[in-house]
Structure 1
Amino acid sequence: MSDFDQMGIIVDWVDACRKGDLTALLDLYADDAQLECTCDGARRYRGRSEIEAYWQPRLSAFSLAGFGLEEINPAPHGVHLEYSVAGALRIQASFRFSPDGKIRSTLCEPARQNAHDGCAC
């Protein structure tokens, strides 16, 4: 059992995304974190600078279009989140944490979409 609130960290993550606050978002990640996105082919980003390069263009677009929390659930080794962009595009993400309460890894992939929607992550 962890001594930090994993669900609370992901709620903070969602809040940072909604506000378009890149610094707050990056501060939730461990220095050696990795992010894997399979929305448009599998791509992996490692460390703060690569994760910043991934999130910078997406975050401003997401916050302008509207970023919605659809589901958040504890998972065996972290937290599972489903969110929407512009009320329609759905993305699911799984988070794992470092012992000090930072996000160690994120895997995002398209959630079930309407036939005419795509993935925006």
Structure 2
Amino acid sequence: MSDFDQMGIVVDWVDACRKGDLSTLLDLYADDGQLECTCNGTHRYRGRGELETYWRSQLNTFSSAGFGLEEITPVPYGVDLEYSVAGSLRIHASFRFSPEGKIYSTLCEPARQNSPDGCAC
């Protein structure tokens, strides 16, 4: 069992995304942290420089389209998160952590999308 709050780190990640706070977001990752995104093809980013390039464009999208927390769940080896962009596009992200309490890896992929028939608008 880890001696740091994995759920708290992911909540901090969500807050940084909502605020568009690139510096805080990057500080949550280990120096050799990595991200794999399969939302539009498979793309891998490793280390602060590559993560900064990826997150700079993503945070711009989040700030203009909106970012919502849908579900956050502890899992045996980390935390799973589901969030939405623009109120409809749902993304699933799995976080794994270094022993020092930093995000070591993030895997994001499209989540099951809500059916338009279930829209309450």
TM range (shorter): over 0.9
Which sections of structure 2, spanning at least 5 residues, go unmatched?
117-121
* SS of match in other structure, 2:17: helix
Corresponding residue number in structure 2 for 1:5? 5
Corresponding residue number in structure 1 for 2:17? 17
Which sections of structure 1, spanning at least 5 residues, go unmatched?
117-121
The one-letter code matched in structure 1 to 2:15 is D
* SS of match in other structure, 2:50: helix
Report how far residue 64 of structure 1 moved. Answer: 2.3
What is the RMSD of the two structures over their aligned residues, measured on CA atoms? 1.2
Corresponding residue number in structure 2 for 1:65? 65
The whole-number CA distance in structure 1 between the counterparts of 2:43 and 2:60 is 20
Corresponding residue number in structure 1 for 2:45? 45
The whole-number CA distance in structure 2 between the counterparts of 1:31 and 1:115 is 39
- Larger Rg computed on CA atoms: 2
The one-letter code matched in structure 1 to 2:8 is G
| 1:113 equivalenced with 2:113 (yes/no) | yes
The 5 Å alignment of 1:69-108 reads 69-108=69-108
* SS of match in other structure, 2:56: helix
* SS of match in other structure, 2:87: coil
1:73-105 CA-partner distances (Å, limit 9, x unpaired): 001100000000111010000000000000000
Runs of 4+ in 1 over 3 A off after TM superposition: none
Same amino acid, percent of matched pairs: 78
The whole-number CA distance in structure 2 between the counterparts of 1:37 and 1:12 is 20
Report how far residue 60 of structure 1 moved. Answer: 1.5
Report how far residue 114 of structure 1 moved. Answer: 4.5
Corresponding residue number in structure 2 for 1:31? 31
Residues 71 and 12 of structure 1: is their aligned pair in 2 closer, same or farther, counting only changes over 3 Å?
same
TM-score if structure 1 supplies the norm length? 0.92
* SS of match in other structure, 2:105: strand
* SS of match in other structure, 1:99: coil
